[in-house]
Chain A
């Protein structure tokens, strides 16, 4: 028997935009979503943020992409149906779905609300679900998700500006908590002022930290300080400015995905300082060891956050009035947006207006 096609493998028709190959160019795509199971919630998608990871995946930069690919893991929408075991959500609720749609739910990590570190965690797109079918993301009109991987969207938070928090927000919030970067008065450096970086500035300020943005682009200084509320700006391409900053920071969050040396960043840290790297370069980074040893410094990683923490992050952001700075686009501009994203030409996240622009 022939394999079922994306259009026929599930009972509910769905429409989205997909790339068919590693050119990464997106175009209309008819596919299908599964029946809403006992644990599931069906969501009509209103907006979906464009994460830089979407671009990396579309172009198979990490080597594990399969096509056709419907990206999108910053998804917000309204519940249209909820399964018989679902008590947390009902029809009409404002909800979000981030980077994961499944995990084993029984390992030590899942039991500690760290589904993101479960060895069987399933990504929202470009992965294989427990029923053996491929997962398709939020550049689409609807999605069916296990309730465990759905978060309630705070009433006070606008859909479009809140969507990017589902990846960018939790990606910076989680390590800030885990690595203890929440002590008011301490000094946090943020490398890169893009989707992750700009949200990190806002969350850092909400924790009462002194925040310095570290960037190669001098034209980001005014933005960083006057618009986003950073306390200072350090031009990383100026060796004198870097030197003046040596040993002044308690923590640094590095959001840059391009390959770069960690040496100047380690030098900016005080002894016992922590450098947390969130970007995903496609090659290893150069790590000088002397500064790590002599200053008891560390380099750590982090990968999104668990579901409990994602909800906690959304509620924290709602409380502090934190949303992303977005440029809303219709779906037919998505390929242009990807070209601009590749050049970092966006302030600071594109968000696709799915509900109003995506129809067959």
Chain B
């Protein structure tokens, strides 16, 4: 039983079934092992993936689920072999808490592509017990999967960087879309998209936001710093922009046509998908061939890169735009998130509102 599985009592919010409604949940965390870091959770961002998992939209959910993989807090205990962190440090945990640590991917610091990567919640840890995420008051995590949150970044606005931030930072670098003077499109202006605009601008890239909602134009340009805004349902605008982009990062997880996006790319352009629609999309092959274009994917980033991303964000003053909520607002927040009614990430004030009664 979750409460007795481990020695350290923990309290959080869990869903018990695919209604996805969360409610108070008593469980437990493991003893702080030699390489573990234990921290008091102060804030946890709500990622759209949390909603997909709560409602079992990907078919892989087992209940109870305690979501949350944008976790920040303060270290309260470190294991005897921990070198990187001390009590009192400001730290974060993102989407992974474990991997095999020995395959090609792990040795190249891309633990996110390790076939045995363990997710922060909804996964199974090395000791066979289920992993529970950051909608909870305490976390115990191997130091390898903990990052330091730079002092200049407030914890609440830094939390979403642990998933949304790295999810955009990694492909901008990997696919070479981080060079000054390039033109990159970002599809979707939500949790991922708004952070993507900020990172790309900081890299010196010209950014066009591509969206179905004309109402987002002002925000995109005036608040987030995008250079231009393209309404994807407007044929004329799309036609005028054909062949103008070196790359596009597509954050949209609903099923949508990618042919118009491929048309926006210059020859040798790259369309990178970071949202994952659960049904296949249609890939028109002619434009891919005629322009030597690629369609690729990307999934979060490795631990080294996640730290690098946070340090870059601190240097360039990049934080998420958030709405801080209390623990008892989470279900309402989920309903609003389903309608994209948030600018642009909910963050749960765990320290002040999530306590065992």
- Residues of A at under 8 Å CB distance from B? 109, 117, 178, 247, 261-263, 271-272, 277-281, 284-303
Contacts and interface: CB of A to CB of B under 8 A. Distances in A.
A241 B143 CA distance: 40
Interface in B275-319: 275-278, 280-299
A287 B250 CA distance: 15
Contacts of B15: none
Contacts of B296: 292, 296-299
A296 B110 CA distance: 11
Interface stretch (B156-164, B213-221, B225-233, B266-274): B266-274
A340 B306 CA distance: 56
B105 interface: yes
Contacts of A303: 289-292
Q: 6 closest A-B pairs (Cβ-Cβ)?
A: A292-B297, A301-B288, A298-B296, A301-B289, A293-B297, A271-B113
Nearest to A284: B282
Contact of B288 (A277, A292, A295): A277
A93 to B, nearest CB: 31
A8 B277 CA distance: 58
Contacts of A261: 280
Given A294-B299, A303-B291, 13 more contacts: A117-B267, A178-B292, A263-B280, A279-B285, A281-B285, A284-B283, A284-B284, A289-B276, A292-B295, A293-B274, A294-B276, A300-B294, A301-B290
A287 B280 contact: yes
Contact of B283 (A247, A287, A293): A287
A286 B284 CA distance: 9
B284 to A, nearest CB: 5
A148 B282 CA distance: 38
A288 B281 CA distance: 6
A28 B284 CA distance: 36
Give the dominant DSSP class at B's interface. Answer: mixed
Given A295-B297, A296-B297, A303-B290, A272 B283 contact: no
A109 B266 CA distance: 11
B176 to A, nearest CB: 13
Nearest to A294: B299
B276 A293 contact: yes
A263 B273 CA distance: 16
B289 A288 contact: no
A22 B288 CA distance: 26
A117 B287 CA distance: 11
B180 interface: no
A298 B113 contact: no
B346 to A, nearest CB: 23
Contacts of B275: 289, 293
14 contacts: A271-B105, A272-B113, A277-B288, A284-B284, A285-B283, A287-B282, A287-B283, A287-B295, A289-B277, A292-B295, A296-B297, A298-B294, A300-B293, A301-B287
Contacts of A297: 296-297
B285 A289 contact: no
Contacts of B285: 277, 279-281, 284-285, 301
Interface string B101-122: 0000100001001010000000
Contacts of B283: 262, 284-287, 299
